[in-house]
Chains A and B, each alone.
Chain A
Amino acid sequence: MARDHSHSPPRPDHPPPQTRHRFLDLALNELLIERGLYTEAELRDMIASIDSVDPSTHGARVVARSWIDADFRRRLLNDANAAIADIGMDPGTAQLRVLENTPETHNVVVCTLCSCYPRALLGRPPAWYRDREYRARVVREPRAVLAEFGLSLAEEQTVRVHDSTAELRFLVLPERPAGTGHLAESELAGLVTRDGMIGVAKR
């Protein structure tokens, strides 16, 4: 299976499909349905259920709540899974830790080994989160990577990079912007982005 790499570097996450691998997933899916492991309807429901998780309606809601409810914020930082379940949301099956940004410390999340991500709160990870470049570089030169995302941090602000695992996921809690004291929880949630909760944006 010789492939000519001389003209361009390999892009491990977006190669053209090869024959065996091209049909393996479809073959496996058909056989699992025939064996009765799950039905076509369950597959459709699962796709819809994964699609329904959106950072703006899930993660951002948790962040906004923590901005207006000091008791919730304390519980969230102490035991995120329990605090999130308490407000009727699904924190996911892995242990979740919420990382509080402060004027002194900025947090950013990566999974250097694969793509572990708080999917119950942020949905599917963006392609760049799974790509070689982000995973390789953010642990070595986080400030340079954050600058590429348009986030320039003050020299004196500490950057902490958190490497996720299958068992432990992270969600960044951005700082509440100044001058938002009059906003309702749903309006505050509108200020929070996916990138802010990964830590590659201010909020």
Chain B
Amino acid sequence: MNVPQSRPHDLGGSPAGPVDQAPHEIPFREQRIDAMVNLMRTKGVISDWAELRAGIEALTPEEYEQLGYYERWAIVAAEIAVRRKLVTREELDARIRHLAEKAS
């Protein structure tokens, strides 16, 4: 029988250790991503939550493993903003370079 390999987000039933119940303070950066994505949703740029989830499920296993939870949201939000022609990939890359230089 040919069992399809499960995607990296599909975790149900896979082996894992104990649940880390320690409360995590949510950093401001994550609050901002959360709010940005919610605004993109209320403004109609993201059509529904299924679209965000479909984007997250399309990440490569490497991306999925290496990114933080809200970083995955931000990457998919950027993809959607480019697809909807709100920004171009070049503009995003230029702004990222600018911010990285400013921070270094």
Q: Could you jot down 17 A-B contacts, CB within 8 Å?
A: A10-B66, A17-B71, A21-B74, A23-B103, A25-B32, A25-B71, A38-B39, A43-B32, A124-B34, A127-B22, A127-B23, A128-B20, A131-B20, A133-B16, A133-B17, A133-B20, A137-B19
Q: When the two chains form their complex, are residues B67 and A21 in contact, meaning their CB atoms are under 8 A apart?
A: yes
Known: A38-B43, A112-B10. A167 touches B50 (CB 8 A): yes
Name the A residues within 8 Å of B92 (CB-CB): 24, 27-28, 31
Q: When the two chains form their complex, are residues B35 and A28 in contact, meaning their CB atoms are under 8 A apart?
A: no
Q: When the two chains form their complex, are residues B64 and A12 in contact, meaning their CB atoms are under 8 A apart?
A: yes
Bound CA–CA A94/B26 (angstroms): 24
Name the B residues within 8 Å of A124 (CB-CB): 26, 34
Bound CA–CA A94/B96 (angstroms): 34
Q: When the two chains form their complex, are residues B17 and A29 in contact, meaning their CB atoms are under 8 A apart?
A: no
Partner of A47, one of B22, B31, B48, B91: B31
- The answer to whether A20 has its CB under 8 Å from any CB of chain B is yes
Name the A residues within 8 Å of B32 (CB-CB): 25-26, 29, 43, 47
Q: When the two chains form their complex, are residues B19 and A114 in contact, meaning their CB atoms are under 8 A apart?
A: no
Partner of A35, one of B35, B87, B103: B87
Most buried by B among A27, A47, A136: A27
Known: A14-B68, A43-B39, A166-B53. A37 touches B19 (CB 8 A): no
Closest 3 pairs (CB-CB, A-B): A112-B12, A25-B74, A27-B95
Partner of A136, one of B12, B70, B78, B103: B12
Bound CA–CA A203/B49 (angstroms): 29
A42 CB to closest chain B CB, in angstroms?
6
The interface of chain B, by Cβ under 8 A from chain A, is 9-24, 26, 29, 31-36, 38-40, 43, 45, 48-50, 52-53, 56-57, 62, 64-71, 74-75, 77-78, 81, 86-87, 91-92, 95-96, 98-100, 103
Bound CA–CA A51/B65 (angstroms): 28
A34 CB to closest chain B CB, in angstroms?
9
Bound CA–CA A38/B86 (angstroms): 12
A23 CB to closest chain B CB, in angstroms?
4
- The answer to whether A72 has its CB under 8 Å from any CB of chain B is no
Bound CA–CA A137/B19 (angstroms): 9
Name the A residues within 8 Å of B29 (CB-CB): 25-26
Bound CA–CA A126/B26 (angstroms): 9
Known: A21-B74, A29-B32. A12 touches B19 (CB 8 A): no
